[in-house]
Structure 1
Amino acid sequence: MNTEKDDQGLPAEGRNSLRGRRCLVFLLAVPLLLFLLSVVALVLSLTLLKPRDPTVSVASATLSGISPQVTLFPVLKIELNVTLNIILLIHNRNHFSFRHGPGKSIVLYRGGQVGEAELLPGEIPARKSAEMPCRLMLEVDKVMAEDVASLVRDVLGGEVVVKSRTSIPGRVRLWKVLRRHVVATSECQYTIGVPAMTIQSQDCKYETKF
């Protein structure tokens, strides 16, 4: 069908009317198309494309080493050879990959740092989880001088309470164009039974910071 020839076969008034209707349809179609595209973009941003915070949690925690010992005579001596073995579980809830950089985990006794461990970087695929091992060795020589007496009492009393803090920075990539930087953190308190060398209780809190 040759529209141009058909238009030429019409009277001038008819041609103007036809062109007017076409312009009207075009003017109505463009805003409608833009509106539909905006609705689709809004739905995607609220569902599929909405960034979700990656989370880190403690899957398991065990102890290894030798039970702490205290010698009172002739010289006060504390033997501490304990390693806290933690399996961290990082869950990526996004529809896009989560790449995390080197992380860090520390262990504290009465607020003072007595051990630390570096966590390797990596990448977690969309909607997947990955385990990350972390070995924290408690170093007695890092116990603050004012806390030595408390450590002796705790060991003799059969319970030593320590805390671990873990920080894993990373970013969520959206089609390699948009990036959202996040830091997944966890803080746990462990009660270690002495001399049984068992974790009697565990209390953890998790958070994601921007």
Structure 2
Amino acid sequence: MKAGSGKGVKICLVVSAVLIAIVLLFVILGFTVFKAKHPITTVDSVTLKNLDVNLDILRLRVDLNVTLNVDASVENPNKVGFKYSDSTALLNYRGKLIGEAPLPAGEISSDETKGFNLTLTIMADRLLSDSQLYSDFTSGTLPLNTFLTISGKVNILGFIKVHVVSSSSCDFAVDISNKTVGKQECQYKTKL
């Protein structure tokens, strides 16, 4: 009976060693090849679609209607897909929210860059009480900012889920006289 029980122990040790090796292989792959990387959100361009400005000198007021086309992209450098939830692109004037555009939920495949074409329209009623708008209008430039955040999950090896938030903030100025968008300065941030 001793010879049979030794054979069972050897089989148990071999099976255990193979299982440990497989688990170690998955852990090593999870922390190297399939390691979660930051999605990169980029504002590729901001173009002026529409600009209507009327100056009311008697009331020292500017009536403004601005529509911007914002081309943004999200690059997924991971070896697995990135699923993101509904989001919103925001348009700000001197720190005040003046416009937004929805970004519907979706998925970005591994090593894919997905482009988004967003249309942002200024909510003029939010600007009517801003005293700086009149001085910006008379100076000829309108300082604006776009802010885009995408939040989602990267699924690694089918059982490891990593939550990821990627955002970009771009400052730029609209030249009122020739209706063009000036130089952009963008900052990008990603949290795993």
Give the structure-1-normalised TM-score: 0.78
Q: Tell me if structure 2 keeps the 8 A contact 1:96–1:174.
A: yes
1:136 aligns to 2:120 (yes or no): yes
> Where in structure 2 are the equivalents of 1:113-152 lying within 5 Å?
113-143=97-127, 145=129, 147=130, 149-152=131-134
2:33 aligned with 1:51? no
The equivalent position to 1:90 in structure 2, one of 46, 67, 74, is 74
Within the candidate set 108, 126, 146, 1:164 is matched to 146
**Which AA in structure 1 matches 2:177?**
P
Q: Distance in 1 between matches of 2:50 and 2:98?
A: 16
Aligned pair partner of 1:40 in 8, 19, 25: 25
Higher-Rg structure is 1
In percent, how many aligned pairs have the same letter? Answer: 27
Write the deviation string for residues 100-156 of structure 1: whole angstroms up to 9, x where unpaired.
1111111111111111111111111111111011111112211262x2x21111111
Q: Is the 8 A contact 1:70 1:156 kept in 2?
A: no
Shift of the 180–24 alpha-carbon distance from structure 1 to 2, 3 Å rule, reads closer
Contact 2:61 2:134 in 1 (8 A): no
SS state of the match for residue 95, structure 1? coil
Large movers: runs of 4+ above 4 Å: 21-39
Q: Assess, with a 3 A threshold, how the Cα gap between structure 1 residues 31 and 99 changes in structure 2: closer, same or farther.
A: closer
The answer (yes or no) to whether the contact 1:83–1:138 under 8 Å persists in 2 is yes
2:115 alignment partner AA: E
CA drift at 1:161: 0.5
Q: Which runs of 5+ in 1 are unaligned?
A: 1-15
Work out whether residues 65 and 122 of structure 2, in 8 Å CA contact, stay in contact via their aligned partners in 1. Answer: yes
- Of 168, 171, 175 in structure 2, the residue corresponding to residue 186 of structure 1 is 168
Question: How far has the Cα of 1:22 moved from its partner?
Answer: 7.5
The structure 2 residue matched to 1:64, chosen from 49, 52, 55, is 49
Flag the structure with higher helix content: 1
Greater mean deviation of Cα atoms: 121-130 or 31-40: 31-40
Q: Residue 54 of structure 2 aligns to which amino acid in structure 1?
A: Q
- CA distances 1:142-182 after superposition (whole Å, capped 9, x unpaired): 1262x2x2111111101111111111111112344332121
Unaligned regions of 5+ residues in structure 2, if any?
none
Superposition deviation, residue 62 in structure 1: 0.5
SS at match of 1:201: coil
- Check conservation: 1:54, 1:91, Cα contact below 8 A: yes
Deviations 1:6-38 (A, max 9, x none): xxxxxxxxxx9x99x989987986786567546
Letter in 1 for 2:153: R
TM-superposed deviation, 1:66: 2.4
